[in-house]
Amino acid sequence: MGTLDYIWLGILAVFQGPELFSMFGLPISVTIAMVLAGFLTGIMVGATPGLAGPVAMAIALPILISVFGYTPDALLPVMGFLIGVMKGATIGGAVPAILFNTPGTPDAFMTTLDGHPLARAGKAGKALRIAHFSSASGDTFSDIVLIICAPFLAILVERYLDLPEKTALLILSLSFIAAVVGGSPAKGLISTGLGLLAVYVGTGEDFYPRLSMGSTQLAQGFPIATAVLGVLIIGAVLKELDDLWRKKREVGTVAASADQGDQRLHGADIRRLFPYIARSALIGTAIGALPGIGSTLAATLGYTVGRARYQKRKAPQDPAFGEGAPEGIASTEAANSSVSGANLIPVLSLGIPGNAAAVFLILAADSIGGFNPGPSVFRFTADTVNPELVVAFGLFTTMMLANALNWTIGGLFMRSMGVMIRIPKHILLPSVLLLTLAAIYVQETRMEAIWFALVFGVLGYVMRALAISPLPFVIAFILGGNLEATARQAFAATGGDPWFLFTNPLAAVFMAASVAVIVFTARNRKAAA
């Protein structure tokens, strides 16, 4: 079977999957309906300050698995919903940023700088249209790069990397994530080390549980859902509740200015904004392809580069960046949206999640089974069908379907989500906590999982209080088992050579790069301070 055959099978898996209902005589598959539901949910979550796409994904994943089960047919509907949430939350974050000067997601902070001044000037509708057009453009470009690059990179990895190199590559990825994401290299290494320590509790060879201290509960290990949801979601909720209590913030509604004048986006506006959108889309895609960096940095860098270009070309009467320049909105939204597709390049080609949203896609694949992200996915077999490759092209199809929804109904729906800002956080956050605990119990159905989740939640709170990012912990927890398995296989394949990471030239290069990333990042942070 050729590439075009697999592409066609992936498209058919989405559009001819199990039928949910029919419309005008046309069958609508479950996957299509789940992508739509996820996309609309993502916009609502993104438009709500204090929430983000990963929160909705964390709550939804156990519930979706309990509904669809663990059969391979559940993969595309479940992951289609998660992809829809990921894309919808990205554009939804612009709504409160523009209307109320409150970013719905961290990525949308830079959008407030020019979006809210435009809203105060009576141009809220136009600002939202600019944000939507820029976001959809960057997201579409990023997905095209993903579809082209992920199979190519996976084939290169499978062809040229053996077990020692793959082990060293995993170590390099963890080092890179620890250095870049952790707040500082030292804090990142602490977070990564805690993740590796937690994942190895209760595991081991010959059915002998490690680090269990004789406890039968610990001997089973920590369920992945309890660790991930506890540190990422419960920890964030506890920290936010603590901030609310300490600052005694007054929750009120902020009225946006009434729209004045023409709110439409014209062809002349698009031509003026296009260079900023294109440049930010390239920046966001390049950053998103690197594991562990994320869309917040992409938005900041896209805004900075756009401002430098704008200052050289702006007319004296044009507003500066930060004073209501439409180019500032376009630069930010195109950059943070173009990260979403590129972030899946290391996930699908290497099996390495780089951000929180990608973590939940990995969780879905691990929970359901039948799909193991990594180089082995992109094996083009001639005689038999590779089901993992069909799923991969099905995922690409769901992403393009989500983009089509973004272009058609995304802008209309996001402009109706301003009401989400009115939900008080002291009501919203306990509800999120309750839903998260319920989702964990649905998946694990034992009280120990709830206690584990609360303990990890406290750990997540302490890490945030100490300015330690929990993301290296989560990624290390997910990759820890794969790292150990690959290292054991490499050790056996090299005849028990304890120095296999350094005797292989390419593996030695990866190990040297792991040390260099930590050292240079620490030196740069020290020089900047």
Cα angle 467, 420, 329; round to 5: 70
**Tokens 């099978």 sit on residue:** 9
Kindly state the percentage of the chain with pLDDT values over 90.
5
Q: What is the pLDDT of residue 255?
A: 46
Q: What is the pLDDT of residue 333?
A: 86
Non-local (6+) Cβ contacts of 47 within 8 A are 92, 93, 95, 96, 104, 414, 417, 418, 420, 421
Rounded Cα gap, residues 10 and 100, in angstroms: 41
What's the whole-number mean pLDDT along residues 222-229? 81
In this structure, the chain runs to a length of: 529
Highest mean pLDDT among 137-141, 320-324, 467-471: 137-141
Is pLDDT of 485 > 70?
yes
What's the whole-number mean pLDDT along residues 9-23? 81
Domain-located, residue 253: no
Q: What is the pLDDT of residue 372?
A: 78
Q: What is the pLDDT of residue 318?
A: 76
Domain-located, residue 254: no
pTM equals 0.71
What's the domain count of the chain?
A: 1
Rounded Cα gap, residues 464 and 516, in angstroms: 26
- Residue 415's pLDDT band, with cuts at 50, 70 and 90, is low
Is there a contact between 391 and 17 (Cβ–Cβ < 8 Å)? no
Helix (H) or strand (E) holding 22: strand 19-23
Helix (H) or strand (E) holding 495: none
Is pLDDT of 256 > 50?
no
Is pLDDT of 84 > 80?
yes
Domain-located, residue 332: yes
Domain-located, residue 13: yes
What's the whole-number mean pLDDT along residues 332-350? 80
Rounded Cα gap, residues 289 and 490, in angstroms: 27
Is pLDDT of 495 > 80?
yes
Is there a contact between 62 and 109 (Cβ–Cβ < 8 Å)? no
Q: Residue 323 phi/psi, 5° resolution?
A: -120, 15
- Residue 204's pLDDT band, with cuts at 50, 70 and 90, is low
Q: Which two three-digit tokens encode residue 226? A: 């309890």
For the ranges 63-77, 241-255, 407-421, 506-520, the lowest mean pLDDT is seen at 241-255
**pLDDT tens per residue, range 86-109:** 888 878 777 777 776 665 555 666
Is pLDDT of 13 > 50?
yes
Interaxial angle between packed helices 425-444 and 235-247, expressed in degrees from 0 to 180 and rounded to the nearest 10: 160
* Region class of 371: left (phi > 0), else alpha (psi between -120 and 50), else beta: beta
Q: Residue 23 phi/psi, 5° resolution?
A: -135, 120
- Residue 364's pLDDT band, with cuts at 50, 70 and 90, is confident
Beta bridge partners of 19: 29
Q: What is the pLDDT of residue 101?
A: 65
- Residue 253's pLDDT band, with cuts at 50, 70 and 90, is very low
Buried b (16+ CB within 10 A) or exposed e, 409-421: ebbebbbebbebb
Is pLDDT of 23 > 50?
yes
Non-local (6+) Cβ contacts of 277 within 8 A are 133, 134, 137, 138, 330, 331, 334
For the ranges 22-26, 182-186, 261-265, 313-317, the lowest mean pLDDT is seen at 261-265
Q: Which residue has the higher pLDDT, 468 or 19?
A: 468
Q: Which two three-digit tokens encode residue 370? A: 């039948």
Is there a contact between 58 and 41 (Cβ–Cβ < 8 Å)? no
Q: Residue 221 phi/psi, 5° resolution?
A: 80, 170
Is there a contact between 96 and 124 (Cβ–Cβ < 8 Å)? no
Domain-located, residue 524: yes
Give rounded-to-5 percent helix, strand, coil for the chain: 75, 0, 25
Pairing between strand 19-23 and 26-29? antiparallel
- Residue 490's pLDDT band, with cuts at 50, 70 and 90, is confident
Q: Is 84 helix (H, G, I), strand (E, B) or coil?
A: helix
How far CA 403 is from CA of 89, 91, 137, 268, in Å, comes to: 13, 11, 9, 24
- Residue 512's pLDDT band, with cuts at 50, 70 and 90, is very high
Beta bridge partners of 26: 23
Residue 157's domain comprises 3-248+266-415+427-528
Beta-sheet strands, E only, within 24-109: 26-29
How far CA 118 is from CA of 47, 268, 316, 348, in Å, comes to: 18, 18, 18, 39
Q: Which two three-digit tokens encode residue 504? A: 């292989």
Q: Is 498 helix (H, G, I), strand (E, B) or coil?
A: coil
Burial class (CB in 10 A: 0-12, 13-18, 19+), 16: exposed
**pLDDT tens per residue, range 236-252:** 788 878 877 776 645 54
* Region class of 254: left (phi > 0), else alpha (psi between -120 and 50), else beta: beta
Q: What is the pLDDT of residue 36?
A: 92
**DSSP assignment string, 439-479:** HHHHHH-SHHHHHHHHHHHHHHHHHHHTT--SHHHHHHHHH
- Residue 188's pLDDT band, with cuts at 50, 70 and 90, is confident
Q: What is the pLDDT of residue 35?
A: 92
What's the whole-number mean pLDDT along residues 247-276? 64
Q: What is the pLDDT of residue 182?
A: 61
Kindly state the percentage of the chain with pLDDT values over 70.
85
Is there a contact between 25 and 411 (Cβ–Cβ < 8 Å)? no
Q: Residue 285 phi/psi, 5° resolution?
A: -65, -40
Domain-located, residue 372: yes
Is pLDDT of 59 > 90?
no
Is pLDDT of 254 > 50?
no
CB atoms within 10 A of CB 153: 18
Is there a contact between 133 and 347 (Cβ–Cβ < 8 Å)? no
Q: What is the pLDDT of residue 252?
A: 47
Rounded Cα gap, residues 168 and 92, in angstroms: 38
Domain-located, residue 154: yes
Domain-located, residue 260: no
Buried b (16+ CB within 10 A) or exposed e, 155-178: eebbeebebbbbbbbbbbbbbbbb
